[in-house]
Structure 1
Amino acid sequence: MDVTRLCSELVKIRSENPPGYTDEVISYLQEICSGIGVDTKVVSQGRKSNLLSKDIQNHFLLCGHVDVVPALDDGWINPPYSGFIDETCVYGRGSTDMKGGVAALLSALAEVIDRGIDPPVDLAFVCDEEGNGDFGMEYLVQKRLLRPKACLIAEPTPELSPVIGEKGVLRLHITFTGDAGHASLHPVLGNSAIVQACSFLEYCENIHSRRWLDDPLVREVIENTTQSLSALLSITQEQSTAILSRVSYNPGIISGGERMNVIAQKCLLDLDMRLPWGCDVDSLIRDIQTHLSDTQVDVMDVAKPTLSRPGMLCDLVCAGILAVHGKKAKPGVTQAASDARHLREIGAEVVNYGPGDLSRLHAVNECVPIHMLEHCKDVYMHVLSHIPSP
């Protein structure tokens, strides 16, 4: 199975989220699985579809999401769903996040099966990772359709740094209420909802400056990650450490005011916060609610930071990286969220490791280098060839 060609074909099958329709790409993947002798079943809700192994063993799970973020045609050298291949890369939306990883997983599985190895693994290719998660991995875990002991997710990562943890998420919808009045009176008089929102964002900077308790493993994996993150974002290692070890906040959507010449009576803020290890989510929410005692604060989404302490799976992936690259792997963490958190909540050891150009993640001209597809396939083959029996 040609991993490059498979990646290209997957990119060509559109699965933007929203709307999150994955039925066509899941149907294609089911044909691929059938062709290599792997029986699967489809779990669907309308056109949102997930593909699972027919007889789940719940020992070792191979996983990837098949929905992608939308893409406009503007600015792309090749159309975003062309799956164009040149001598170095496969181009298109989802090539890095994460149809390239799905292609590498299936190509590796096909090759080890062709060599006579029958690895004790389940498959899960899911929808809704890029959306609100209402019918993807979170649903499958809640309905007890998946309860693996270990899970390898083919999310894009640095080549020498499998990811074993991710920051938490807190998303708030905040309604600030002021007193309408004539604009000429402000700021001497008046209570502007917009000014309240701006004042709260200054308080968020105070939250960002806080230090949180951690443990030696957290310090180690953050240190392992800072170098690759610094190179990726062209920032200092101190800035990388701040991204990973402090609460980050982003006022993603803010709207307010009725007219330019009226003191704003209402302002709405949608805030995305990413929470480091050691941050107590409940205490942080209480702090914010106390600070905004006269303001409506609605929690839209919350997930605690997660970390899988290195075990059997991490050891296998690191051994595969050493075998393929000839260099020692250093497990790391990420500031972003993935489906790993839902599996860690039920006690599974989860490692994210996959191919991709992280500088093009969700960006115009997204692509995945061919050598990364091939190297990850080889790492996966090493893992699949050494999984212990249940």
Structure 2
Amino acid sequence: MTDLPTTTALLAELIGFPTVSTDSNVALINHLAARLEQAGARVEIFHDATGAKANLWARIGPDVAGGVLLSGHSDVVPVTDQAWSSDPFDMLEEEGRLYGRGTCDMKGFIAAAVAMAPLFAERALTRPVHFCFSYDEETGCLGAQALADQLRGRAVMPSMAIVGEPTRMRVIEGHKGCYEYSTHFTGLEGHGSGPDQGVNAVEYAARYVGRLLDLKDRLRARVPEGSRFEPAWTTINTGALQGGVARNVIPGRARVDWEMRPVQKSDAEFVKADLAGYCAHTLLPAMRAVHLEAGIETETIAEVDGLEPASENEARDVAMELTGANGAGLVPFGTEAGLFQGLGMSVVVCGPGSIDQAHKPDEYLEVSQLGACLDMLERLSRKLT
């Protein structure tokens, strides 16, 4: 097995790249590419339109369809205004824990996968190991969505995927989707003393939020029979309502930021159709009765499908065998797993560390968890020979 100190040292290198989603991840991707190429991997790098972001796709083993994908995102959340006890981008090892931004979410898994690459290359693999390291997962799975479009239709693709988000090495076979939106309201400004002469964008935005609250309650009645999610139904959250400049000014613009986490795609279509009808038949006619140029536009930030539990799931069965688990669970947080499922792979989420540590100051990964991940990957290398 690849030794733990080597993997820990690589993780320290990765933490040293401050790949906050607002910044470039290209230096980190190039670093990972060099490590994989040194191990004999065939590496492809896909840049976004700006050139400041990149996805990595690599393969070790035979050029045949099938095999396993090891997937992780390279970006991390900001540390701004967080009270860290040490430099978040200079990994600190203390009392069996590895502290640093991204240690558990999710550079620990990336470090383990890349550290194992030489072992994968040494083994006479009959099925390949693929690696995928993406950008901007934290801001809507933007990198993985772009990569999925680029990979769709390829003949040589993995049949299974392990997404290494922090699950404490539990095997996860399902999670909800995450659909994120910003709905923009354009009204007509005016003096607050003459409300009928303007179109108050904040008030119409508030009515829209009221509709979201109504839908939030109605979705409880649509819970699928036997749903294992917690909560069992599709949820809606209103994250922000912004608009207005002063108490005595009719606000001409407003914005509602909101999300839903569907347990089934039909719920998402139900919500979107209801809101479209409400805007078209109730809100917009009232707004345009005063100002013809008033409008409501919904900007899609991301629509990432969930990982749907399947009765037949090779990746789940293999991961349970590799970890010794006797069952698979569900999680409430989202990942890129649904995108790989959409490409026809069987998918599980399984990685080192706890989601409870993610996004917090003094984020850490237990050394024992990193070791458990290496053990799983070493068993995988033997299974693929």
- Name the TM-score, length of structure 2 as normaliser: 0.81
- 3-state SS of paired residue (2:249): coil
Structure 2 vs 1, CA of residues 177 and 74 (structure 1 numbering), >3 Å: closer, same or farther? closer
Deviations 1:76-112 (A, max 9, x none): 1111100111122111111111100111223344446
2:248 is matched with: 261
Check conservation: 1:172, 1:297, Cα contact below 8 A.
no
Check conservation: 1:214, 1:278, Cα contact below 8 A.
no
Q: 163, 180, 184: which one pairs with 1:153?
A: 163
1:48 is matched with: 53
1:73 and 1:304 map into 2 onto residues whose CA distance is 31
| Deviation of 1:204 (Å) | 1.9
Matches within 5 A, 1:289-328: 289-293=276-280, 294=284, 296-300=296-300, 301-309=302-310, 310-322=312-324, 328=325
2:344 and 2:309 map into 1 onto residues whose CA distance is 9
Q: Identify the range of structure 1 (254-263 vs 65-74) with the bigger mean alpha-carbon deviation.
A: 65-74
2:272 and 2:206 map into 1 onto residues whose CA distance is 19
Structure 2 vs 1, CA of residues 53 and 281 (structure 1 numbering), >3 Å: closer, same or farther? same
| Deviation of 1:123 (Å) | 1.7
Check conservation: 1:90, 1:369, Cα contact below 8 A.
yes
1:86 and 1:116 map into 2 onto residues whose CA distance is 38
1:245 is matched with: 233
Q: 12, 17, 22: which one pairs with 1:18?
A: 22
Structure 2 vs 1, CA of residues 112 and 297 (structure 1 numbering), >3 Å: closer, same or farther? same
Matches within 5 A, 1:141-180: 141-144=148-151, 147-160=157-170, 162-178=171-187, 180=189
Read off the aligned partner of 2:367 and give its amino acid letter.
Answer: I
1:94 is matched with: 102
| Deviation of 1:352 (Å) | 1.2
Matches within 5 A, 1:20-169: 21-45=24-48, 46-53=51-58, 57-59=64-66, 60-72=68-80, 74-111=82-119, 120-134=128-142, 136-144=143-151, 147-160=157-170, 162-169=171-178
Deviations 1:214-247 (A, max 9, x none): 254xx24x3xxxxxxxxxxxxxxxxxx22x5232
| Deviation of 1:25 (Å) | 1.6
Structure 2 vs 1, CA of residues 27 and 303 (structure 1 numbering), >3 Å: closer, same or farther? closer
2:327 is matched with: 330
Read off the aligned partner of 2:15 and give its amino acid letter.
Answer: V
- 3-state SS of paired residue (1:319): helix
Read off the aligned partner of 2:175 and give its amino acid letter.
Answer: E
- 3-state SS of paired residue (1:280): helix
Deviations 1:23-70 (A, max 9, x none): 222222233324434343433352423332257644221121212222
Report the RMSD for the aligned CA atoms in angstroms.
Answer: 2.9
Read off the aligned partner of 1:251 and give its amino acid letter.
Answer: G
1:8 is matched with: 12
Unaligned stretches of 5+ residues in structure 2: 285-294
Structure 2 vs 1, CA of residues 297 and 164 (structure 1 numbering), >3 Å: closer, same or farther? farther
| Deviation of 1:373 (Å) | 0.8
- 3-state SS of paired residue (2:182): strand
* Identity score, percent: 23
Check conservation: 1:98, 1:156, Cα contact below 8 A.
yes
| Deviation of 1:4 (Å) | 2.1
| Deviation of 1:122 (Å) | 1.6
1:348 and 1:197 map into 2 onto residues whose CA distance is 41
Read off the aligned partner of 2:214 and give its amino acid letter.
Answer: N
2:119 and 2:90 map into 1 onto residues whose CA distance is 27
Matches within 5 A, 1:185-204: 192-204=200-212
Deviations 1:334-373 (A, max 9, x none): 3333222221112211111101231221222111111111
Structure 2 vs 1, CA of residues 14 and 179 (structure 1 numbering), >3 Å: closer, same or farther? closer
Structure 2 vs 1, CA of residues 180 and 40 (structure 1 numbering), >3 Å: closer, same or farther? closer
Check conservation: 1:289, 1:297, Cα contact below 8 A.
no
Read off the aligned partner of 1:170 and give its amino acid letter.
Answer: Y
- Name the TM-score, length of structure 1 as normaliser: 0.80
Read off the aligned partner of 2:329 and give its amino acid letter.
Answer: G
Structure 2 vs 1, CA of residues 111 and 250 (structure 1 numbering), >3 Å: closer, same or farther? farther
Unaligned stretches of 5+ residues in structure 1: 223-240, 323-327
Read off the aligned partner of 1:350 and give its amino acid letter.
Answer: V
2:275 is matched with: 288
2:356 and 2:346 map into 1 onto residues whose CA distance is 27
Name the count of aligned residue pairs: 356
1:96 and 1:302 map into 2 onto residues whose CA distance is 25
| Deviation of 1:205 (Å) | 2.3
Deviations 1:135-168 (A, max 9, x none): x2222221227643211111111433x2222322
